[in-house]
């Protein structure tokens, strides 16, 4: 079975992307890892959605809604890019703590996609570095997706569809019937500072802000996140629980 992993890249979150990529590499032997980079997709003619800037935030004109990251919509191109096998998509604001072979072992060939099916309605109006917090059906289901690229139903997820329908429809998997959306255990997309910690999480998702952002220095597993960042930067690891102010990497 071909296995690949795709991490959304957001320039404002370069350090978060580095941590996500580094921890995924440590926990993903035999899995090819790729960045989902918007400008590269635009140059390749795969992403043609018109965007604007509204009040300093990237705006998707088709959805008439803000985009908190550059990969808000482009994640749905993963089956086209991966071509075959099972492809994992994940947001960049994540810390991978368990071997993802355990995740791929859960792949159900009868399902077109698999995800953690959160019941989450955000109370906050903003998230991360002041980006608008948008409410939509199946919020956060699409932040970790295991795509079955060979499933016939995913043939409907064309490049044209990704570039023409509102993002809220894509995020609720509009091209699929509900029976084709498989459920993953909650530990594979634990929402830090949102959900109670009831088990050892495999992927920690810093959906409200990662530990180098003010107010999130003591988020769950922040010490692990900072340790990984310092390893990437080639610096020493601080004592547990001591917050550090980071400088964005070039």
| 93-137 confidence digits (pLDDT tens) | 999 999 999 999 999 999 999 999 998 766 554 545 544 446 557
Which residues of the chain have a pLDDT value below 70?
Answer: 121-136, 236-250
pLDDT for the residue numbered 122? 62
Helices assigned H by DSSP within the chain? 14-26, 38-43, 78-82, 101-104, 159-162, 167-171, 222-233
β-pairing, 3-8 vs 86-90, is parallel
pLDDT for the residue numbered 121? 67
First-residue to last-residue Cα distance in the chain? 36
pLDDT for the residue numbered 236? 58
Local structure of residue 111 (DSSP, 8 states)? -
pLDDT for the residue numbered 191? 97
CATH class of 3-216: alpha beta
pTM of the model: 0.88
**Residues 232-247: pLDDT tens digits?**
999 755 554 444 443 3
CB–CB of 204/220 below 8 Å? yes
pLDDT for the residue numbered 245? 41
Domain ranges of the chain: 3-216
pLDDT for the residue numbered 128? 55
pLDDT for the residue numbered 137? 76
């Amino acid at each position: 079975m071909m296995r690949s992993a795709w991490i959304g890249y957001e320039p404002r979150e370069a350090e978060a992307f580095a941590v996500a990529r580094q921890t995924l590499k440590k926990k993903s032997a035999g899995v090819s890892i790729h960045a989902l980079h918007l400008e590269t997709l635009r140059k390749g003619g795969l992403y043609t959605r018109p965007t604007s800037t509204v009040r300093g935030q990237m705006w998707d004109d088709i959805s008439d809604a803000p985009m908190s990251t550059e990969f808000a919509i482009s994640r749905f191109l993963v089956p086209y890019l991966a071509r075959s096998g099972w492809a994992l998509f994940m947001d960049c604001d994540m810390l991978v703590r368990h071997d993802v072979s355990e995740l791929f072992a859960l792949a159900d060939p009868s399902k077109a996609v698999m995800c953690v099916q959160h019941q989450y309605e955000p109370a906050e109006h903003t998230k991360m570095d002041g980006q608008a917090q948008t409410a939509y059906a199946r919020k956060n289901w699409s932040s970790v997706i295991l795509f079955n690229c060979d499933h016939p139903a995913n043939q409907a997820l064309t490049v044209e569809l990704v570039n023409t329908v509102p993002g809220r429809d894509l995020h609720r998997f509009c091209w699929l019937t509900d029976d084709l959306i498989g459920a993953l255990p909650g530990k594979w997309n634990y929402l830090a500072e949102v959900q109670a910690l009831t088990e050892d999480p495999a992927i920690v998702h810093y959906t409200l802000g990662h530990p180098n952002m003010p107010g999130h220095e003591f988020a769950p597993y922040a010490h692990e996140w900072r340790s990984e960042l310092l390893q990437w930067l080639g610096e020493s690891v601080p004592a547990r629980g001591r917050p550090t102010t980071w400088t964005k990497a070039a």
